[in-house]
Amino acid sequence: MNEVTIVFGGMSDRPDSRINNLTPFEAARTPFMDYLAENGTSGYEQTEYANAEDLSVLSVFGLKTDVHNVGRASFESRYFGIDTEPEDAVLCCTFVSLSDDEDYNDKTMLGICHDIEEEEARQLTEDLSKAINNEIFSLQYGGGSEHFLIWKQGEPNPGRLYSPQSVLGMNICDFMPVGEFTDPLTDIMKKSSVVLQEHPVNIARINAGKLPVSSLWLWGIGKPVPENQYQNSENCHTLTVSDDLLVCSVAAYAGSDTVCIQEEQLSETAVNALKNGIKRLIVYGRQPKDFGLSGDLKGKISCIEKIDSGPVSAIYQYLRQSGEAYSLKITSDCTVSVSLCSYCGDPVRYIVYESQNA
């Protein structure tokens, strides 16, 4: 029997007065999910860590851990094989592009440098390491725009750190690290900006019409996760397909095989996995969460409609035509309110359709 779970981060939402007190899911045109709900079962369920920002994904893989000492970097650094000690803290270091205002705090977040080539990233990380690394802090190469800062015997809860996604298009002044132990982190961000200002990689990027890498952005701090402490044996027979690095990192930690891909590859990769004999499949996309956190109501509704006509349609039609028994669940890991631009911890909607009960 094929067991497929389709999870889209932050797809659940609250009723919104701008769309006649419907949720974005209810307002969206979703013929495939409507059919599955009408002919299967649907409802709402509470997920663990639903109000813990990116850690809501832990519930997808049945993980239980100390949410106060684990952050995004805890899982992603392990996924990249970064060596850490139990007493260290580790942070995500994302390459971002900022406006060229003279004062760092006056700059605007223009974008995340997802398009950076590996050779460019390695060169920048190497040069930044020379300026940043000391007996306390160590910058470690990850891949692409995502790297890691190891803080020897660091404070896992230094203060408020904002994800770069939450700052896009805004002045960074109100989103700088804030807290009792954040001053050295702010210093590193500002120092990185000085190192990168006239870097040959950035000169080449500008000449090619690309945004320069203006700064490191520090966030997602946590303690290293223990070795396999929370591994769920069911995950050892699962393939996880996702466009989110954190999901792939958590899935691998939980014992699942993983395929990290681009958003537009979700449908094809998932169907090919089923064709190749995968019996337990998790498909995760993060797009609704991004639209919700940015307050883009139209974008979230459109995104949900594309989910229905894309991954949901492709996977359902393949399962139906395969002739094998199957179970298909569609859900979310958390509720993100598009009107509040934040996580709100409400129960999430789910749909379960089983071929044997159809």
Query: Pick from 212, 250, 208: which is nearest to 77 by CA?
Result: 250
Task: Report the half-sphere exposure of 342 (CA within 13 A, side-chain side).
Answer: 6
Q: What is the mean pLDDT of residues 105-132?
A: 96
Using DSSP bridges, classify how beta strands 342-343 and 336-337 pair: parallel, antiparallel or unpaired.
antiparallel
Distance of CA 193 to the CA centre of its chain: 25
User: What would the mean pLDDT of 166-190 be, rounded to a whole number?
Assistant: 95
41-50, 101-110, 294-303, range with the lowest pLDDT? 41-50
Q: What is the pLDDT of residue 106?
A: 97
pLDDT of residue 6: 98
For residue 169, report the phi and psi dihedrals to the nearest 5 degrees: 80, 5
Retrieve residue 175's tokens.
């989103």
pLDDT band at 146 (very low <50, low <70, confident <90, very high): very high
Share of the chain above pLDDT 90, in %: 80
Which of 139, 131, 95, 130 is CA-nearest to residue 113?
95
Q: How far are the Cα atoms of 74, 99, 141, 185 from residue 82, in angstroms, in the given order?
A: 10, 31, 8, 20
Per-residue confidence (pLDDT) for residue 231, from 0 to 100: 54
Q: Is residue 69 over pLDDT 70?
A: no
List 283's β-bridge partners, or say none: 6, 241
Res 218 pLDDT > 60: yes
What's the pLDDT at 58? Answer: 86
Task: Compute the mean pLDDT over every residue in the chain, rounded to the nearest whole number.
Answer: 92
Whether the per-residue pLDDT at 65 is higher than 70: the answer is: no
pLDDT at 92: 96
b/e burial code for range 251-281 (CB count within 10 A of at least 16 → b):
bbbbbbebbbbeeeebbebbbebbeeebebb
Question: pLDDT digits over 293-321, tens only?
Answer: 889 999 999 999 999 999 999 999 999 99
Enumerate the domain spans of the chain: 2-64+231-357, 72-222
Question: Of 80-84, 215-219, 223-227, 320-324, which has the strongest mean pLDDT?
Answer: 215-219
Residue 124 C-beta-side C-alpha neighbours within 13 Å: 36
When pLDDT is averaged across residues 344-351 and rounded to a whole number, the result is 92
Residue 342 pLDDT: 84
In this predicted structure, what is the pLDDT of residue 67?
62
- Of the listed ranges 14-23, 74-83, 265-274, 311-320, the one predicted with least confidence: 74-83
Q: What CATH architecture does domain 2-64+231-357 belong to?
A: 3-Layer(aba) Sandwich (3.40)
Q: What does each C-alpha distance from 240 to 50, 61, 72, 176, 246 come to in angstroms? A: 20, 10, 18, 34, 12
Instruction: Give the pLDDT band (50/70/90) at residue 358.
Output: low
